[in-house]
Amino acid sequence: MSRMNGDTSTLATGERFQVVLQLLPINLDSQEELANALELAVAALVKDAAGVALGPVGSADLAAGIIDLEFTMDALSPALLHAKLGEVLRVLEAAGFEYAGSRDERVDAPRQRELQPA
């Protein structure tokens, strides 16, 4: 049955998304610190985002200093997916994981453009 004929099974169960976050940790001076930041990030997702980020795994590019976090998310709509991604980033920040673009860096960065009212 198509959705037009009343089939809502896809809408009721939502969609499953494979998410890869590529983050650039800040204030890390060594490969060991990068490895520790990766462990911190994955542990925070396992502990505090268990119902949001399903099966989190991570890897680190030691030469570039980049961390990739990969996990699955279920969401009923794109809006809910983005809300859940915000929750994942909140969990990482609360655990002390700092990355380029995180709350602390945004506060210190000079604003290039002023926001305009809609």
In a domain, 3, yes or no: no
In a domain, 11, yes or no: no
In a domain, 33, yes or no: yes
Output the pLDDT for position 13: 65
Structural domain containing residue 48? 17-96
Overall number of domains in the chain: 1
Sign of CA dihedral 31, 32, 35, 36: negative
Per-residue pLDDT of the chain (118 residues; tens, 9 = 90+): 333 444 434 445 678 999 999 998 888 888 999 999 999 999 999 999 998 999 999 999 988 889 999 999 999 988 899 999 999 999 999 988 888 766 444 444 454 555 555 4
CATH number of the domain at 30, please.
3.30.70.60
pTM of the model: 0.72
Is residue 67 a contact partner of residue 114, using CB atoms and an 8 Å limit?
A: no
Output the pLDDT for position 29: 82
Structure tokens at 48: 């505090």
Residue with tokens 């542990």: 43
Residues whose CB falls within 8 Å of the CB of residue 49, separated by 6 or more in sequence, listed in order: 56, 87, 88, 91
In a domain, 86, yes or no: yes
